[in-house]
Amino acid sequence: MSADLDVFDAQEPSLPPDHRSGFVAVVGRPNVGKSTLINAYLGQKIAIVSHKPQTTRTRLLGIYTGDDAQVVFVDTPGIHAPRHQLGQAMVNTALRAIPDADVVLFLVDASVPPHDEDRLVANAIGASGDTVPAVMALNKIDLLPSHESPYASAYLQLLGPAAWLPISATKGTNRDALLDLIIEHLPPGPRYYPADQITDQQMRFTAAELVREAALNHLHQEVPHAMAVVTGEFKERSPDMTYISATIYVERQSQKRIVIGQGGKTLKDIGAAARVEIEQMVGTRVFLELWVKVQPKWRKKAADLRHFGYHSPGT
């Protein structure tokens, strides 16, 4: 018996001998439902979701622990043709997740034909050779009559995956079957994380993300993309009250006016929506104070990207 197995047995005496585990990089173009699917597997919102593309900006882990397997989902930013340093950092982050994974889950929106961006994703997966098995999920089939995609073969031709399934992340169709398929392609191994840990992100990061999600839902056009949110204070004031302050950064004075809105109404609505979500996460009442600041052209400046946590090597 190897030394590794000795450690494995000592740590987790109750795990079955055929227990599987590994990292699953969830990749795809923006807006196909990567974060939605991961949240559904965890039964909790660890990644923010919106109908606008380029919502996820950093890599984050969603850890699913079952009796027979631990699946560490790696949520990644949507792969696209970047227009600024932020976009480049996001794409680099997504690309780097592929060779490090045990399985790549290539998610596509099967309700529409393949985009050029889907080809970028397929090429990136292909570039890591046959070393990482790829599973393709044809998502959003709930939008199609009889739940069948006329584009299935066009998507499968992009890559030739090891396995594939049509799914609906929101309605649940084939979600469990896809999880089984992923687990089948994972190697045998121990749990990498404690059974009760569901993400690697700290609550102060998720709080800022939940503010950004609320803002994405309340704002339109260019403003959501020009926003970054940073948590300032995060303090338990009493056993049932947490005080959180966060700053929303935008690139222009005109965007600041839009975020604040007439008489402060938009900012108030963003705060109210975010507070409900943050209270669910924190488990206490939350007093949320929001600030709006202008940081000109931050998406094009490496120092600002680092400050906001978006820096990736090579940018």
Ligand X SMILES: Nc1nc2c(ncn2[C@@H]2O[C@H](COP(=O)(O)OP(=O)(O)OP(=O)(O)O)[C@@H](O)[C@H]2O)c(=O)[nH]1
Which residues of this chain interact with ligand X, rule CB under 6 A?
28, 30-36, 49-51, 53-56, 77-78, 139-140, 142-143, 168-170
30 touches which of Mg ion, ligand X, none (CB within 5 to 8 A by kind)? ligand X
CB of 74 to ligand X, least distance (A): 12
Query: What does residue 137 show for φ and ψ, rounded to 5 degrees?
Result: -115, 125
**134 Cβ contact partners less than 8 Å away, ≥ 6 residues apart:** 103, 104, 105, 106, 125, 159, 161, 162
Name the minimum Å distance from CB 34 to ligand X. 4
Query: Which of residues 8 and 118 has its CB atom nearest to ligand X in the complex?
Result: 118
**CB contact at 8 A, 199 and 62:** yes
Q: Which of Mg ion, ligand X, none does residue 77 bind to, with CB < 5 to 8 Å depending on kind?
A: ligand X
Partner from ligand X, Mg ion, none binding residue 299, C-beta < 5-8 Å depending on class: none
What's the rounded Cα separation, in Å, for the pair 280 and 253? 33
CB closer to Mg ion out of 15 and 137 = 137
**Minimum distance from residue 54 beta carbon to Mg ion (Å):** 8
Long-range contacts of 195-198, Cβ-Cβ distance < 8 Å, separation of 24 or more: 195/65, 195/70, 196/65, 197/63, 198/42, 198/44, 198/46, 198/62, 198/63
Nearer to Mg ion, 46 or 267 (CB): 46
Q: CB of 94: closest distance to ligand X in angstroms? A: 8
C-beta atoms surrounding 233 within 10 Å: 11
In angstroms, what CA-CA distances link 308 with 33, 178, 227, 228, 250?
A: 24, 34, 10, 7, 12
Evaluated on CA atoms 159, 161, 167, 169, the torsion sign reads negative
- Contact partner at residue 271 from ligand X, Mg ion, none, CB < 5 to 8 Å by partner kind: none
Question: Side chain identity at 178, as an amino acid letter?
Answer: L
Instruction: Compare residues 65 and 139 and give the one whose CB is closer to ligand X.
Output: 139
Q: Which of 116, 130, 129, 107 is nearest to 31 (CA)?
A: 107
Report the nearest approach of Mg ion to the CB of residue 148 (Å): 26
Closest to ligand X by CB, 62 vs 191, is 62
142 contact choice in ligand X, Mg ion, none (CB below 5 to 8 Å, kind-dependent): ligand X
For the bound state, the minimum distance from the C-beta of residue 109 to ligand X, rounded and expressed in Å, comes to 8
With CB under 5 to 8 Å by kind, the binding choice for 143 among Mg ion, ligand X, none is: ligand X
Task: Answer for the pair 137, 105: CB distance below 8 angstroms, yes or no.
Answer: yes
> For ligand X, which is the closer residue by CB, 55 or 149?
55
- For the chain, the residue count is 315
Shortest Å distance, C-beta 34 to Mg ion = 5
Nearer Cβ to Mg ion (227/286): 227
Please give the structure tokens belonging to residue 254.
């005109």
Residues that bind Mg ion (CB under 5 A): 34-35, 55-56
